[in-house]
Structure 1
Amino acid sequence: MRTTWIILVSMLLIGGIMYYLAKKPNKTTVHNTITFGDTPDSIRMKTTLYVAYNPAQVYFRGNGWTNQDSTPLKVIPPDSALSAFNGHRSATFYIDYDHRYFYDIEISQPAKGQPFGITLDLEPDPGNSTMQLNGVVDSQNGKLDFSGPMMKMYGAFVLSYNERIPDSLKSADSSLSKAEKLITIIDQ
């Protein structure tokens, strides 16, 4: 009789543990990361992710990205999107391939505790002599798919975001003031 009770209590205890583990929220590696999905290793090794927070202007000189006050942009290692936002609600990510092509995208962080993930796929586009970027931002609010060619980089240039530049520094040319962002080439 004693053996029957031990088996019954053991079964209830195991069942309780199994129920707890089944109801525990799953944390997957897909969320809270920036990953390179189907990107070949040869391209992945030459790709660097940078981040800036509400930049008005970002400079590229030679081999480095900087803010307008000459502080270098933070390098984000893939698979670590949690540290990318650094307490900010949104961040502008710069995908830099071998200092030859770049792509910038601003992403807002979902509400605290909501998982999200960013998947990037880079592939050569020999027909247009550029790199093609396909990406997915996945959050509980839905998915954002984006795709396009990466911009060619020059020896030195300034990337200006018009909505963040003070009016006193904006160009008088009305066609330029309507642009969302401008690239000013300093050195070929």
Structure 2
Amino acid sequence: MRTTWIILLFTVATGAALYLIFNRRSGNSLADAGGHTPDSIQHRTWLLVASDPTSLYYHDSAWFTADSTPLTRIPLDSALPITHNRQSPTTYILDYDHRYFYDVELPASPAGKPGSIQFHIRPVNDTLQVTGSLYTGNTLDIRFNGPMLNMYRSFMVTYNSKLPPDTSGVDSTEKSALAGASKTITVL
């Protein structure tokens, strides 16, 4: 009878040890990013603001406009909701730990009315999903939703709608002008 109890206790102890070994968390992962810890999404995400850029550059953890002016950085935990007075078109970039980014272009608000923008970031599969809303006063203007894109060590985002028209093209019909992409990401 005593041997049976010893075998039973040994089996339970071995099972508990195996359970703890195989269910151990290994480092930080994207699934852990949702909490309110120092390594959570809020503490690793920066909001960058650019006023009507034609192109934006990223190189070694720094964002620049075409004239090499650094973008204004705002910690995300101090930026929710963001109050702004958009007198000119503005581009907001969310940068998560220099691994993922999301950019949203906002038009100038009518008559310079102040508004607010809200972001919500959550982990989904192997990336982060951004959901946001833009309000002018109490009116909802834009609602956006999309995945954050992987970042490279050095790349450029070009907003094609802000570039001068191409005069070297053979087909200048309106249909071909609308067929192009709204932005281009070039890895440098």
Q: TM-score range by the shorter chain?
A: 0.5 to 0.7
Q: Which amino acid aligns with 1:161?
A: Y
CA drift of 1:70 comes to 1.2
CA drift of 1:71 comes to 1.1
Cross-structure match for 1:96? 95
Cross-structure match for 1:63? 61
Is structure 2 residue 122 aligned with structure 1 residue 123? yes
User: Which structure is higher in RCO with an 8 Å CA cutoff and minimum separation 6?
Assistant: 1
Please state whether the residue corresponding to 1:163 is helix, strand or coil: helix
Q: Percent of aligned positions with the same letter in both sequences?
A: 35
- CA distance in structure 2 between the partners assigned to 1:157 and 1:168 by the alignment: 23
* Contact 2:160 2:183 (8 Å CA) reproduced: yes
| TM-score for both structures, normalised by structure 1 | 0.65
Unaligned runs of 5+ in 1: 1-38
Deviates more, 1:163-172 or 1:73-82: 163-172
* Contact 2:80 2:119 (8 Å CA) reproduced: no
Cα RMSD (Å): 3.1
Cα deviations by residue, 1:58-107 (Å, 9 ceiling, x for unpaired): 0000110001111101113414734x55x733210001010111110112
| Distance change >3 Å, CA 104–CA 169, structure 1 → 2 | farther
Please state whether the residue corresponding to 2:184 is helix, strand or coil: strand
* Contact 1:53 1:88 (8 Å CA) reproduced: no
Residue correspondence of structure 1 range 1-188 to structure 2 within 5 A: 40-41=35-36, 42-77=40-75, 78-79=79-80, 81-82=82-83, 85=85, 88-111=87-110, 114-126=113-125, 129-139=126-136, 140-167=138-165, 178-186=180-188
- CA distance in structure 2 between the partners assigned to 1:121 and 1:73 by the alignment: 21
* Contact 2:82 2:118 (8 Å CA) reproduced: no
CA drift of 1:53 comes to 1.1
- CA distance in structure 2 between the partners assigned to 1:50 and 1:155 by the alignment: 18
| Distance change >3 Å, CA 113–CA 165, structure 1 → 2 | closer
- CA distance in structure 2 between the partners assigned to 1:108 and 1:170 by the alignment: 29
- CA distance in structure 2 between the partners assigned to 1:108 and 1:143 by the alignment: 10
Q: Which amino acid aligns with 1:134?
A: T
Q: Which amino acid aligns with 1:165?
A: L
Q: Which amino acid aligns with 1:46?
A: R
Please state whether the residue corresponding to 2:103 is helix, strand or coil: strand
Q: Which amino acid aligns with 2:42?
A: R
| Distance change >3 Å, CA 44–CA 95, structure 1 → 2 | same
* Contact 1:159 1:183 (8 Å CA) reproduced: yes
CA drift of 1:148 comes to 1.0
